[in-house]
Amino acid sequence: MSFCNSSIPQPLTFVLAGIPGLESSHGWFSVPFFLVFVISVIGNTTILCIILVERSLHEPMFLLLAMLSVVDFSLVSVTVPRMLGIFWMNAKEISFNACLTQMFFIPSFYVMESGILLAMAFDRFVAIWHPLRYTTILANNMLVKMALAVLARAVAVLTPAPILAKRLESFQTHVIAYSYCAYMAVVQIACGDISDHIVYGLMVIVASVGFDLFFISLSYGLILHAVFRIPSWEARGKALSTCGSHLCVIALFYSPVVFSVLVQILGYHMAPHLQIIIDNLYFLVPPMINPLIYGARTKQMREWVLRILHCRGD
């Protein structure tokens, strides 16, 4: 329950604080944010172009990687430009409807990325457990169904967020102590009973990240079971190497979430600016690092990037 001695009616505009307590350092923060944006756009565009041009890459693993790049590109496109506007031009005001739009799209792309990582874990499971039926099981129609399921889950889980936020009638302040319109950040400045909103927020985490992490762990448990039944150490190493890039991406993507949840469970209270910086890592680091990981660890991608660089060098 959030009680207010004084309240304001639902405002037409909110003010995004950026990173509270570190306003004087916003200019410095803008440098890594801008670099992340540029590297993410270049990296994910390169991945998409390579997969589009090279027909030999039109197979399940790389088509799923193309989906991941589309979502990563979308994620940085809806988050970073707005943050840079706050850091560079002090453009902190955001209309209520624009805030609701951010509230839906930013976490939606995050949930989509989590779903695609689950699909990629299933891809590796099929490749190792059923190698002879790999292309049959993961035919194009199956990939389309998986993509539609990922999209539908994100829409179903996140559509209530702006609807519930729209129903909030009074607020303690019109300043959101965040760098974007996060659902819980808006709910926390509302007056009245917000217990239903907190329950909904927990349900979103369980239905997306919790669900995906469980089945990703299950997939890799079965993969390890299958790999360690292979008598040849060389064959084991080769089988595991096909999962290396995906495991790196999974660790990178879920680490900030798991860290934040553990911190809250253990009752440790982080400084608000530190919490916001860690929350921003959810949306900034994976889109930048994913293309670098797949570009460095995937032979076909590496050869294409080297070919592009060689042509430019000539």
Over residues 82-109, the pLDDT tens digits come to 889 988 888 889 999 999 999 999 999 9
Average pLDDT for 191-206: 88
pLDDT digits (tens, 9 = 90+) for 111-145: 999 999 999 999 999 988 888 899 899 999 999 99
Query: Furthest-apart CA pair in the chain: how many Å?
Result: 71
Which stretch of 13-17, 52-56, 151-155, 264-268 has the lowest confidence by average pLDDT?
Answer: 264-268
CATH number of 11-311: 1.20.1070.10
The larger pLDDT score, comparing residue 265 to residue 258, is at 258
Whether the predicted pLDDT of 68 surpasses 90: yes
Strand partners, 14: 94
Give the pLDDT confidence score for residue 157 in this predicted structure: 95
Closest CA to 245 of 282, 296, 286, 303: 296
Cα(47)–Cα(305) distance, integer angstroms: 9
pLDDT of residue 72: 94
Predicted pLDDT of residue 166 = 92
